[in-house]
């Protein structure tokens, strides 16, 4: 389909922390295809925000169309959200009972932290983080609750997916997977938030009358900046999340947060998050970030490129894996991440040449030849 940049501008006007209703009315007067708008909102995971448009003077046919689409979406979304929350509470309680430290982030937790309602934000999975030395125990416990690894057995995950430091687990009958993490980024890459530092600062969030451990606001700021950057900011919802956190937590010391990220060699991720919120949603950079952002030509150029790609729909497809290197402040880190990522065997290598398990170490030798063959085919 052809992405409509006018519809995208309309979404930007209503997903910002304080919707710009005057701008939304102006865009509506120009005419917007409701089907295109709804599809674009689904693509970016911001359909709950569309209800803001209903009182703004849509023509009768467009209003009927939007109300019908929202009614269907909201019915399914509310039911799914409640099911996911029940499962989140059940799983975190089981992990806590087994003395396995756990923190929930993104997903329904973020909906409550930033949007004040489970149904006010879209989400697909339950994201949990455990300490690296408890990851195997957590997977074993989740297996007793009906969860299975959908990516392969433990040996396969260790060999081909271990660098990702997370696994996807699903349970039959539940329309959501658990993404179990033991770090916030892949092994070759830095990340603004050190997962080892979060545990003393966790904040309990009451969900269904039970406390669920979540990230403190300053740690959440670094997480949102890092997550959006490693995903090349190809989703408007992530920009909206960061913008909403900036608006909701004016007390945060952003200069200190930038220094924390810089010590992790990825301070530019924080600056890029602020730049994306400014360019797309009109949210001014918080104090402590404005001056370093203005001084960084690299971040400014990246933000211009990514924001325009998002507006024009160029980010519609899956991101490239090496977009992760946007996290790296230093050229040496970016080059090293490229080398390590390129040479590490992947599930694709196994699919292309299914060797028996005793021969899996050979993939370290065959990987460069497969890369060379792929390069030749592209020439």
Residue 99 has pLDDT above 60, yes or no: yes
Please determine, for residue 71, whether its predicted confidence score (pLDDT) is greater than 80. Answer: yes
Between 201 and 373, residue with greater pLDDT: 201
Q: Is 150 exposed, middle or buried (0-12, 13-18, 19+ CB in 10 A)?
A: exposed
pLDDT category, 378, cuts 50, 70, 90? low
| Percent of the chain predicted with pLDDT > 90 | 69
Give pLDDT tens digits for 259-294: 999 999 999 999 999 999 999 999 999 999 999 999
pLDDT reading at 324 higher than 80: no
User: Is the Cβ–Cβ distance between 161 and 344 less than 8 Å?
Assistant: no
Question: What is the structure's pLDDT at 323?
Answer: 59
Q: Could you identify the residue written with the tokens 């930038």?
A: 258
Q: Could you read off the pLDDT of 326-348 as tens digits, one per residue? A: 888 888 888 887 787 788 888 88
State if pTM tops 0.95: no
For the chain, how many helices (H) and strands (E)? 16, 7
Residue 35 burial by CB count (10 A; 0-12/13-18/19+): exposed, middle or buried?
Answer: middle
Query: What pLDDT, in 10s, does the model give residues 138-159?
Result: 999 999 999 998 777 778 877 8
The Cα 214–Cα 224 span in angstroms is 13
Does the pLDDT of residue 322 top 60, yes or no?
A: no
Whether 147 contacts 171, CB under 8 Å? yes
Give the C-alpha separation, 343 to 346, whole Å.
Answer: 9
Q: In the prediction, which pLDDT does 379 show?
A: 55
């Amino acid at each position: 389909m052809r992405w409509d940049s006018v519809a995208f501008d309309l979404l930007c006007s209503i997903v910002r922390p304080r919707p710009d209703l005057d701008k939304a009315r102006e865009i509506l007067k120009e005419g917007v295809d409701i089907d295109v708008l709804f599809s674009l909102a689904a693509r970016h995971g911001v359909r709950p925000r569309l209800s803001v448009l209903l009182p703004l003077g849509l023509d009768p046919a467009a209003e009927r169309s939007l109300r019908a689409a929202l009614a269907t979406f909201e019915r399914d979304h509310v039911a799914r959200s409640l099911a996911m929350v029940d499962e989140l509470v059940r799983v975190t309680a089981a992990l806590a009972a087994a003395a396995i430290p756990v923190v929930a982030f993104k997903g329904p937790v973020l909906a409550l932290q930033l949007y004040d309602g489970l149904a006010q934000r879209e989400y697909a999975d339950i994201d949990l983080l455990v300490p690296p030395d408890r990851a195997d125990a957590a997977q074993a416990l989740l297996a007793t609750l009906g969860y299975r690894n959908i990516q392969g057995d433990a040996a396969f995950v260790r060999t081909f997916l271990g660098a990702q430091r997370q696994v996807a687990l699903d349970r039959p009958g539940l329309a959501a997977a658990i993404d179990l993490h033991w770090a916030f980024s892949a092994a070759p890459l830095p990340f603004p938030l050190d997962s080892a530092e979060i545990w003393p600062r966790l904040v309990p969030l009451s969900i269904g009358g039970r406390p669920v451990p979540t990230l403190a606001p300053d740690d959440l700021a670094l997480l949102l900046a890092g997550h959006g950057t490693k995903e090349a900011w190809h989703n408007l919802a992530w920009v909206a999340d960061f913008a909403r956190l900036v608006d909701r937590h004016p007390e945060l010391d952003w200069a200190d947060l930038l220094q924390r990220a810089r010590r992790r060699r990825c301070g530019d991720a924080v600056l890029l998050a602020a730049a994306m919120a400014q360019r797309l949603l009109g949210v001014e950079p918080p104090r402590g970030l404005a001056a370093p952002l203005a001084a960084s030509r690299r971040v400014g150029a990246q933000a211009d490129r990514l924001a325009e790609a998002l507006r024009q729909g160029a980010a519609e497809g899956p991101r490239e894996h090496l977009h992760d290197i946007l996290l790296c402040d230093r050229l040496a880190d970016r080059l090293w991440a490229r080398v390590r990522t390129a040479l590490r065997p992947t599930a694709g290598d196994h699919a292309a040449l299914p060797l028996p398990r005793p021969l899996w170490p050979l993939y370290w030798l065959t990987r460069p030849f497969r890369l060379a063959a792929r390069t030749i085919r592209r020439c």
